[in-house]
């Protein structure tokens, strides 16, 4: 069975601090996909990144970076120089190969509060 | 493109009532699915569809029905609402090929009293 664990229920930081959101996953598949979504207070789900199991390169997009390590089954997300607008719930998710359609398995989410 | 649309945005039902949550997408996506979001549990898959006429159960299908008669629409039916179905419901769609990103609708907040 597939499982995603986000052990940090809530994190509070002061603006400009760096913050890392942890994501640990479990799967028996050799091919799988990992995602991060952001849910701001307005409630919509915003796609941030997709990573497939064959691509272990770290990714950087502006203040966001992701560290994928298959050896520890982790896909952590770091926000550098956090801003108040980063306050949201962040979800890590896992899916099987595309043939299985839309079966995303989500973690419970991490609430990030950035204070000015 | 409107993307994925959901109606209504808010709904209050009494226990035992039935209703249909509507979901539509205008991106010609083959795959559509319904999730529910509950505090501390993330999103859980209810039902999904890989094309018109084809649906299957997800993780928490009990109490819900779906059908997919067209590519665009994927309604979710609550047969006899229960307080345990109080949740926020998200519809999502994606193309079979490409980036595999799922596009989510804005959500429907349902309260069952």
Asked if B101 and A50 come within 8 Å (Cβ–Cβ), the reply is: yes
pLDDT band at B39 (very low <50, low <70, confident <90, very high): confident
Q: State the DSSP H helix or E strand holding residue B74, giving kind and residue range, or none if neither.
A: none
Q: Nearest-CA residue of chain A relative to B5?
A: A44
* pLDDT at A101 > cutoff 80: no
User: pLDDT tens for residues A3-38?
Assistant: 999 999 999 999 999 999 999 999 998 888 899 999
Instruction: Find, among A20, A19, A21, A48, the residue nearest to A35 by Cα.
Output: A48
Our CA-based measurement puts residue A47 at a distance from the nearest CA of chain B, in whole angstroms, of: 7
Residue B39 in contact with residue B58, Cβ under 8 Å? no
**How many angstroms separate the Cα of A94 from the Cα of each of A23, A24, A27, A81, A91?**
10, 10, 9, 27, 10
Q: Nearest-CA residue of chain A relative to B42?
A: A108
State how far the Cα of B96 lies from the Cα of A85, in Å rounded to an integer. Answer: 33
Asked if A102 and B45 come within 8 Å (Cβ–Cβ), the reply is: yes
State how far the Cα of B111 lies from the Cα of A25, in Å rounded to an integer. Answer: 32
Q: Nearest-CA residue of chain B relative to A107?
A: B42
Residue B66 in contact with residue B56, Cβ under 8 Å? no
Asked if A44 and B50 come within 8 Å (Cβ–Cβ), the reply is: no
User: pLDDT tens for residues A30-75?
Assistant: 888 899 999 999 999 999 998 888 888 888 889 999 999 999 999 9
User: pLDDT tens for residues B47-102?
Assistant: 999 899 999 999 999 999 999 999 999 999 999 999 999 999 999 998 877 667 88
Instruction: Find, among B13, B43, B8, B36, the residue nearest to B23 by Cα.
Output: B8
User: With an 8 Å Cβ cutoff, is B88 touching chain A?
Assistant: yes
How many CB pairs (< 8 A) connect A and B? 66
How would you label B67-88 residue by residue, b for 16+ Cβ within 10 Å and e otherwise?
ebeebbebbbebeebeeebbbb
User: With an 8 Å Cβ cutoff, is B48 touching chain A?
Assistant: yes
The residue written with tokens 């899916």 in the block is: A95
Asked if A106 and B42 come within 8 Å (Cβ–Cβ), the reply is: yes
Asked if A102 and B48 come within 8 Å (Cβ–Cβ), the reply is: yes
B2 vs B23: which has the higher pLDDT: B23
Q: Nearest-CA residue of chain A relative to B37?
A: A108
């Amino acid at each position: 069975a597939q499982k995603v664990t986000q052990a940090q229920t809530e994190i509070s930081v002061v603006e400009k601090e760096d913050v890392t959101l942890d994501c640990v996953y479990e799967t028996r598949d050799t091919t799988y996909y990992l995602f991060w979504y952001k849910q701001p207070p307005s409630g919509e789900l915003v796609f941030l990144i997709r990573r497939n199991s064959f691509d272990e390169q770290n990714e950087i997009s502006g203040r966001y970076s992701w560290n994928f390590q298959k050896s520890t089954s982790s896909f952590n997300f770091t926000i550098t120089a956090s801003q108040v607008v980063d306050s949201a719930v962040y979800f890590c998710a896992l899916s099987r190969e595309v043939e299985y359609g839309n079966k995303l398995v989500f973690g419970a989410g991490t609430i990030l509060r950035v204070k000015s | 493109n409107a993307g994925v649309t959901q109606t209504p945005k808010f709904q209050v039902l009494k226990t035992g009532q039935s209703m249909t949550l509507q979901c539509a997408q205008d991106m010609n996506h083959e795959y559509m699915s319904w999730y529910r979001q509950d505090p501390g549990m993330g999103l859980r898959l209810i039902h999904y569809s890989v094309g018109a006429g084809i649906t299957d159960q997800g993780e928490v299908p009990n109490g819900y029905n779906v059908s997919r008669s067209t590519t665009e629409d994927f309604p979710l039916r609550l047969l006899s609402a229960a307080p345990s179905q109080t949740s926020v419901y998200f519809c999502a769609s994606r193309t079979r090929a490409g980036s595999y990103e799922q596009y989510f609708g804005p959500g429907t907040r349902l309260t069952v009293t």
